[in-house]
Chain A
């Protein structure tokens, strides 16, 4: 080949090789970038007044007076919405009417228990009133005028029944009368559609602004507050303003989504202008402000990580890592010392080396099974501890997992210490043990720290070994090493695939993963800094 061609190929090769490294950097950016961006929004975002209220109630953070003042302002802006909806709801809310009927029936049942009628009379009365209640419910639910009138007529028959007249069950009759007045002239078919769409609007409003003032406090914390983040609020606003339906196209074609503005759907009713009002005044109702939620790394979280931070998970991961390191470092360094100093190349040594290499190759899931069967079911009961997953078992499993890494790195480090150091120390009369402790080990310290760094990353990030031995998805902060704990690794897995609530809070999903990655990088950095300090100290000597 001509020399020019060869030189050209050489240059192309250099470029290609450089491209592969650039490709690596791009991959790193591609993997970490989206996670950082989306996870970062768990810490830095635009928070609303609902967020500040939630922080006050759940974690006691924030200025109470300022938040109360803001809430009052927000409520004033929101009041118009609720009054408009109340006005519209009067004639069409069959669920509320059904609830009322059920309550009256229950009240009547309680009252009957107070009187001293015979048991058969009580049972008969109850069954009569139950029939009335059921017919009333079907009247409320139906959209067929004839059916409704028939049911109402049945109920109104009991108007003058002496057993019912002066008791609380008369309320049922009252409901029937009121209802027949309300629906007089309303198109029942439209009513059904209005009612269903109003339900959608109300549900979205509850998610956006929290429970309506005057309604019962929901049992679950996540339902007690509205949208805590401005981006979530925008998404909910979209759902509020637009009605989504799927339209058939031709045969063999998938349906397409069509969005109609809700004001159109409620055209001609009181609700028509409501949506524009909400859109314009949402900032006033939610008061968004840029928030820097650094307490994310300290706070506990509500179940499902709907609110709150990843504090306990970080603590769990750190505990597991530190305790596993406490096990691994002595075992690893001592084994490496033995292998370098006292080993001769005989059969037993070969077996030991083969075992270490085999251990390095065992898949992490097999370690998980081993940890469960050995440490949890066998080892712990030997010491009288209850045989359930706990930090101790998980740490020991992780220690066995990273033992080969530690041994290999330490061995290399100890071997790399120049023979002259050892010989000089021995010549000065020190025993072999003293030589090792005072001379070889300090000189090998940087390499051993490298081993510690590698082990740290492995231990903090492994999920499969802790699945069965010590990690839980929901649980209190551990009080001793015999408790299970939440960890960042298992939490990330659970948030990604296991949890229903997690999909509603993507910033928390990504937040947890990126916290794990950042934690590992931080641990690495600390260890690297330590290593370079030790290295400098050694070089200085």
Chain B
């Protein structure tokens, strides 16, 4: 028995340099994560021998991984910040952005909430803590439970810039770490309000109209919805034509890619 354990261990330690199949490392945002997962699944099925690893720890982490050359593609739900660009150039990495899909940050509430539309100013007041009860804005008499994404997420960045206009959030705001968590909070709490990407809106939550415009594929694609944003994949320089990275980053232009993007609930950038 001891011998078995030891030989197993030796085998593991000896397997240090096998003939490696082609690999692709993807790291970054939790919003773009489902798209990357789905693309990876399709690619691995059509190219046996290709191995793709996807990590979803956050846009900032993806940028850092690209800068350290720890990944081939970084998925970000926001554009790279100035400091990240500078750090990348210092590390001889030239980030090139590919906008693979459009996303809209939807304000969601529980379906039992009578409120169906709000203005940007009203949302700002709620999140800043000035409005505390739903009845002040035409809803039922219930305390507003404010849920936000954590302060380093790309979704939060978009929300902060376009709706909060950088005003500080109230101190009793609950923070969750991912879109599904935010959606789960709203689904189970009647007085909750939160914001998620449009890919995470389903029948269990209600997306509000903002400034009179409902978040649909059309309004996001043509930019009339006030809180629309592109989703990015960043590579180190433009990928070599015909390489796997190139095919992965241009997959969103094909019909199959757009079918996947639509299936995940996002908005394709082009309209075949």
Contact = CB atoms under 8 A, between A and B. Distances in A.
A102 interface: yes
Contacts of A479: 15, 18, 20
B56 A255 contact: no
A113 interface: no
Contacts of A25: none
Residue among B112, B113, B135 facing the most chain A CB atoms (10 A cut-off): B112
B111 A246 contact: yes
Interface stretch (B81-89, B221-229, B234-242, B255-263): B255-263
Nearest to A383: B16
Interface stretch (B100-108, B119-127, B175-183): B175-183
B177 A303 contact: no
Interface in B244-272: 256, 259-260, 263, 272
B42 A219 contact: yes
Contact of A484 (B20, B53, B139, B179): B53
B70 A503 contact: no
A472 B51 CA distance: 13
Contact of B16 (A248, A473, A482, A497): A482
A387 B71 CA distance: 11
A474 interface: yes
Interface stretch (B32-40, B90-98, B153-161, B165-173): B32-40
Contacts of A255: 111-114, 140
Contact of A218 (B52, B54, B177, B259): B259
Interface in B1-56: 5, 8-9, 12-13, 15-18, 20, 25, 30, 33-34, 37-38, 40-42, 45, 51-56
A102 B272 contact: yes
A476 B260 contact: no
A388 interface: yes
Which residue, of A387, A388, A476, A500, has the highest number of chain B Cβ atoms within 10 A? A500
B60 interface: no
Interface stretch (A12-20, A319-327, A351-359): A319-327
Interface in A86-117: 102, 106
Contacts of A475: 51-54
Contacts of B45: 221
A220 B114 contact: no
B141 A473 contact: no
Chain A CB within 10 A, most for which of B20, B34, B41, B184: B41
Given A218-B263, A252-B141, A388-B70, A106 B272 contact: yes
A129 to B, nearest CB: 15
A136 to B, nearest CB: 15
Nearest to A239: B203
Contact of A219 (B55, B57, B139, B260): B260
Contact of A304 (B37, B112, B142, B181): B37
A480 B259 contact: no
Given A219-B259, A388-B70, A480 B112 contact: no
Interface string B51-67: 11111110000000000
B190 A326 contact: no
A481 B42 contact: no
Contacts of B190: 254
Nearest to B41: A303
The contact size tier of chain B is 35 or more
B9 A474 contact: no
A256 interface: yes
A253 interface: yes
Contacts of A476: 51-53
A370 B15 CA distance: 26
B230 interface: no
At the interface, is chain B mostly helix, strand, loop or mixed? mixed
A256 B140 CA distance: 11
Given A218-B263, A256-B112, A499 B180 contact: yes
Nearest to B50: A476
Contacts of B70: 387-388
A502 interface: yes
Contact of A302 (B9, B15, B41): B41
Nearest to A473: B56
Interface in B179-197: 179-181, 183-184, 190
A252 B15 contact: no
Contact of A480 (B18, B41, B142): B18
A257 interface: yes
B185 to A, nearest CB: 11
A418 interface: no
A497 B57 CA distance: 12
A388 B180 contact: no
B206 to A, nearest CB: 8
A498 interface: yes
A474 B141 CA distance: 44
Interface string A458-487: 000000000100001111100111101000
B180 A500 contact: yes
Interface in A208-228: 218-221, 223
B199 interface: yes
A480 B45 CA distance: 22
B16 A219 contact: no
Contacts of A223: 263
Interface of A: 102, 106, 218-221, 223, 244, 246, 248, 252-257, 302-304, 319, 322-323, 326, 387-388, 467, 472-476, 479-482, 484, 494, 497-503
Identify the 5 closest CB pairs spanning chains A and B, nearest first: A475-B53, A254-B140, A474-B54, A303-B37, A480-B15
Given A246-B112, A500-B179, A503-B184, 4 more contacts: A303-B40, A475-B53, A498-B30, A500-B34
Interface of B: 5, 8-9, 12-13, 15-18, 20, 25, 30, 33-34, 37-38, 40-42, 45, 51-57, 68, 70, 111-114, 135, 139-142, 176-181, 183-184, 190, 199-200, 203, 256, 259-260, 263, 272
14 contacts: A106-B272, A219-B256, A220-B38, A220-B263, A252-B140, A252-B141, A254-B112, A257-B111, A303-B38, A474-B54, A476-B52, A479-B15, A498-B56, A498-B177
